[in-house]
A and B are shown apart, each in its own frame.
Chain A
Amino acid sequence: MENQKSLQLEKVTYDDKIVKAFVLAMLTFAGVAFLAGLLAALQLAYWPFNMNLEWITFGRLRPLHTNAAIFAFAGNAVFAGVYYSTQRLCKTRLFNDTLSWLHFWGWQAIILSAAITLPLGYSQGKEYAELEWPIDIAIAVIWVVFAVNFFGTLAKRKEKHIYVAIWFYIATILTVAMLHIVNSIEYPVSFMKSYPVWAGIQDALVQWWYGHNAVAFFLTTPFLGLMYYFIPKAVNRPVYSYRLSIVHFWALIFLYIWAGPHHLLNTAMPDWAQTLGMVFSVMLWAPSWGGMINGLLTLRGVWHLIRTEPIVKFLVTAVTFYGMSTFEGPLLSIKSVNNLGHYTDWIIGHVHGGALGWNGFMAFGMAYYLIPKLWRTELHSKSLANTHFWVALLGILLYYISMWASGITQGLMWRAIDVQGNLVYPDFVETVMKIVPLYWIRALGGLLFLIGFLIMIYNVIKTIQGAPANQYDTEVQVPVAVGHDTHPEKGHRKLEGLVTVFSVLSLIAVLVGSVIEIYPTLNLSKYVKEENAVEPYTPLELAGRDIYIAEGCYVCHSQMIRQLPGDVLRYGKASTIEESMYDHPFQWGSKRTGPDLARTGKKYPDLWHYRHMIDPRAVTPKSIMPNYPWLADKSTDFVGLRKKVAVMKALGVPYDDNTLAQADVMAEKQAKEIAEGLKAQGVTQDGLERKQVVALIAYLQSLGQKGKNKGVKDDKAVASSL
């Protein structure tokens, strides 16, 4: 009976065309991401590279770079790998060709939308979630298309068992959907403008729950799935320990989701949430390294392949970088280490170790494996692939090491206090000048990485040119019931055969941490002391805030004075939860290329800000900030302010009826007062009161000036008491 069963064969044609399309899209957008990254690195080393062009100024280019790297390069790599491996592991063609192509073109359209809107300044001001609401909806729709196509493929699979790689894909699809939807709940103001429903600390927690887990479930779990598939394929050995892969999977997805608050250590966030984030981040060491060890030990007995096979070189080095990044991440999550590293280039180095080393090399290794197979030819040149490897590796090392040095240097300088209790380096720009040479080294590292990639592109073009003209999809004959035997399945074997149950359990694993982390903070009144409540922004300040967000000021300036002596001495009293309670979105930031701005209001006169925006070096000679001359040319949208205020009120900001009805009139009045002040100090410009620079000045002057903390600048005693 069993023999008869195994003789029943069925022809299966895998859809290789869609995989080819995603591979080519991955390579195309990799070029865009790397080029944007290199230009951004050069802008930080030498500010004139901003070229006085608003569309490519650092604040707008950096979101373009991160979105291109994450969603275009890594995203297309994931889709290529998932579609290739899932068909083969399930021994069936993808569920639906139309869905496959809808997924492909839909995703490329989203990327194109991002490439157009981000340089134009359409941004929500939330890292890795900058895209505006119509694009957010498109992402959700296309992700559902992907999910239906993927789960449909699992449903019609001819292999009973679900291999571990597919578990990681399942966790990715479910969790990314949850993260994206919750973090993108926003209230549209107009076609390309919205405000998130979350505010202040809520928004901070939701954003970093999303942001951290975008790294976890978009850049880690799917790539771990690819690791569990492509390393065994490349070395022709099964994974070292299947048992370890099970423990790795469940421990990793359960723990990862809790770690978001480590992005907010020493801030105004409640201590319990900080400690929770730190503890779970440290615990992540174990499953992460379990996965790394499992990947590396798959090479048992064939280590020599690292010498001879460029694919293996890339894959193994990628896993090594995964190990380094997942060691460094928990290390940076320890509060005392975070004191030093947070807001510095150490974080940038850490991120790029993961993005270039882990994601980049894994994608390159996969592409070198897939391209000859898909185009049914041999790789044009192994030696060029080897050259790519060494050039890119050197590039990453230069990048990584320079950013470590830069981050630790800046962290130490920021907190250096002399015996009298004064800051040793009170001028922020002093700490910037110290690290500019390291920015040049970083740019060199990026250039080498890009050169390596261009070598790969040449190699790929030659490989495809040498492919036979007759291209066809892979066709195999498989038994109708491969893996199905007459014995009832038990335990995890049974569980993994039940896709729905498995998916629900995975979702529960990520939901538990999410709910515990976020739900209590939704009850904001528990943390906000009424006596510390602040008043909302005036309509003009709100308009200025939108300009601040559109220009991407948050990518270089934080608005969160940490509870650390160095921060308090430099910037004033530590920020409180109440001060950002009406901030939709929060702007605490994650990097200080420039100083913190939480209490910058009234620190300088309006004229200083005006001159600073037009030419930062006019007031801070060695500043690396770009010029923003267009702010003095472009007009503020006064007409749209009533709608904006109405939306803010609907979100819970206590604007009175008069402000609601007179928002534009009030804004124009305040703008006129500021403009007259500037004119009295010598600024000669017609219609100044209608220009964006005035609205931005109004916003900057309001920072730290709301509520009872108005104008507070602490002395040394406050700092030393921390």
Chain B
Amino acid sequence: MTKQWLAHFNDTQLALFGFLLFFAVFMAVLGWTFRMGAQRQYKKISELPLSDEKNYGENL
């Protein structure tokens, strides 16, 4: 059954499906990333490497 299905599968359409899937995922990621209000949080996360050896005990 699977073999028969594969034997008649149109591979060009499969590739096209992959391309459209990528496009959909890409647009979703883009929309998600650039949504309103995310910038403040991103700024905080982007500074993580700069504070990763900070010794919080020294500030007490």
Residues of A with Cβ closer than 8 Å to B?
Answer: 7, 9, 11, 85, 88-89, 91, 159, 161, 163-165, 228-229, 232-233, 236-239, 242-243, 246-247, 250-251, 254-255, 258, 270, 272-273, 275-276, 279-280, 283, 474, 476-479, 482, 491-493, 509, 512-513, 516, 519-520, 522-523, 525-526
Contacts and interface: CB of A to CB of B under 8 A. Distances in A.
Give me the 6 closest cross-chain CB pairs, A-B, nearest first.
A477-B57, A88-B52, A242-B42, A238-B46, A242-B46, A523-B6
B53 A88 contact: yes
Interface residues of B, number: 41
B18 A512 contact: yes
Contact of A89 (B41, B44, B48): B48
Contact of A258 (B18, B49, B57): B18
Given A492-B32, A492-B33, A163 B49 contact: yes
A232 B50 CA distance: 7
Contact of A520 (B14, B30, B57): B14
B7 A523 contact: yes
A251 B26 contact: yes
A238 B33 contact: no
B56 A238 contact: no
Contacts of B38: 243, 491-493
Nearest to B14: A516
B56 A243 contact: no
Given A477-B57, A512-B18, A522-B6, 19 more contacts: A85-B49, A88-B49, A161-B48, A233-B50, A238-B43, A242-B46, A246-B33, A270-B11, A272-B12, A273-B15, A275-B15, A279-B19, A283-B22, A476-B55, A477-B58, A491-B32, A492-B32, A516-B14, A516-B15
Contact of A516 (B18, B32, B41, B46): B18
Contacts of A477: 55-58
Given A272-B11, A272-B12, A526-B6, A163 B48 contact: yes
Contact of B43 (A89, A232, A242, A254): A242
22 contacts: A9-B57, A85-B49, A85-B52, A88-B49, A89-B49, A89-B52, A161-B45, A163-B48, A228-B49, A232-B50, A243-B38, A243-B42, A270-B11, A273-B15, A276-B15, A283-B22, A476-B56, A477-B56, A479-B56, A512-B18, A512-B21, A526-B7
B34 A243 contact: yes
Contacts of A161: 44-45, 48
A493 B32 CA distance: 10
A519 B60 CA distance: 59
Given A243-B34, A491-B35, A523-B3, A276 B49 contact: no
B29 to A, nearest CB: 5
Interface of B: 3, 6-7, 9, 11-12, 14-15, 17-19, 21-22, 25-26, 29-30, 32-35, 38-39, 41-50, 52-58, 60
A526 B9 CA distance: 10
Q: Which of A159, A276, A474 has the most chain B CB within a 10 Å cutoff?
A: A276
Contacts of B11: 270, 272-273, 520
A474 B19 CA distance: 47
Contact of A513 (B18, B29, B41): B18
Nearest to A526: B7
Contacts of B33: 243, 246-247, 492
Nearest to B28: A250
Given A272-B12, A477-B56, A525-B7, A232 B26 contact: no
A582 B47 CA distance: 55
A163 B14 CA distance: 35
Nearest to A88: B52
A232 B49 contact: yes
Nearest to B25: A254
Given A9-B57, A163-B45, A236 B50 contact: yes
Contacts of B15: 272-273, 275-276, 516
A491 B28 CA distance: 12
Contacts of B9: 520
Contact of A242 (B3, B22, B45, B52): B45
Q: Which of B9, B25, B45, B56 has the most chain A CB within a 10 Å cutoff?
A: B45
A85 B49 CA distance: 8
B50 A476 contact: no
B14 to A, nearest CB: 6
B47 A520 contact: no
B50 A91 contact: no
Contacts of B56: 9, 476-479, 482
A280 B19 CA distance: 8
A295 to B, nearest CB: 13
Contact of A238 (B25, B34, B50): B50
Contact of A246 (B29, B44, B48): B29
Contacts of B54: 476
A474 B54 CA distance: 11
A250 B49 contact: no
Contact of A250 (B3, B26, B50, B55): B26
Contacts of B55: 476-477
A161 B25 CA distance: 23
Contacts of B48: 89, 159, 161, 163
B31 to A, nearest CB: 10
A479 B56 CA distance: 7
A161 B44 CA distance: 10
